[in-house]
Amino acid sequence: MSLPNQLTVLRIILSPVFVFLLFSESALLRWISFAVFIVASLTDWYDGYIARKFGIVTKWGKFLDPLADKILISAGFISFCTMGYIAEWMVVTVIVRDIIITILRSYGIYKGKPIATSTFAKVKTFSQVILLYLIYGYFIYTDLLKMHGYQWIFNSDSALHFFNIAMLFVTIVTVATGFLYMFYNRSCIKEMKRDICRFFVPSNT
């Protein structure tokens, strides 16, 4: 396995690690979880950089890299959703979109027509990671305040309102990129529909 793909796999492995640490009763481990998340998110940039610089871009890497991003980001959104930082419906929308696009990507690889990540999708991923950085930073900030007895400011309405407005923007961009993928790969979708119909309604000939 090439180094870029190893970094991608590392990103997947670190996803449950940072979630486990995030929900720890130890404040230190919760703060370490932020460092783990940062390292995991930075591997996304580094594996792509290495793959392009040394010309080791693979079909498997093109599929696995965005999948690793989705796993990492979904883990972050679900975690902070359960804590009440962002609305559930937006997290569900983002995850459903990711599942649909992953199915489409999987079918493209199956047919020997891998779907490349678009520039717009990269902007989407960047905005998602930045939002998670902000929420994580606020989480640690309020964690420190709680340790010193300032619980009155924890989960302030203004901060939660900002996070949900930002999450709404991220959700819109995420859904928009999903529609763009489906539009530009509509021939692949039609072919997939035909294969599904053939599977459930086999020909009598």
CATH of the domain at 62: 1.20.120.1760
* 83 within some domain: yes
Question: Which residue range forms the structural domain that includes residue 32?
Answer: 3-200
198 pLDDT more than 90: no
Find all residues with CB under 8 Å of 205, minimum gap 6, and list them: none
Pick the range with the lowest mean pLDDT from 90-99, 112-121, 146-155, 189-198. 146-155
Question: For the chain, what percent of residues have pLDDT higher than 90?
Answer: 56
Calculate mean pLDDT across residues 177-181.
92
Half-sphere exposure in the Cβ direction for 62 (13 Å, CA)? 17
169 pLDDT more than 70: yes
113 pLDDT more than 90: no
42: left (phi over 0), alpha (psi -120 to 50) or beta: alpha
Specify whether the CB–CB gap between 177 and 105 falls below 8 A: no
Mean pLDDT (the chain, rounded): 88
Look up tokens 């991923």; give the residue: 125
Q: How many domains does the chain have?
A: 1
Give the single-character DSSP code of 153.
G
How remote is the C-alpha of 109 from its chain's centroid?
20
Calculate mean pLDDT across residues 53-65.
80
Q: What is the pLDDT of residue 192?
A: 87
Of the two residues 117 and 42, the one the predictor is more confident about is 42
* 205 within some domain: no
Which tokens sit at 139?
Answer: 């989480």
Calculate mean pLDDT across residues 102-130.
87
145 pLDDT more than 90: no
**Torsion angle, CA of 151/154/158/160, rounded to 10 degrees?**
-160
Look up tokens 């796999």; give the residue: 9
29 pLDDT more than 90: yes
148 pLDDT more than 80: no
Specify whether the CB–CB gap between 94 and 131 falls below 8 A: no
H/E stretch holding 134 reads helix 119-147
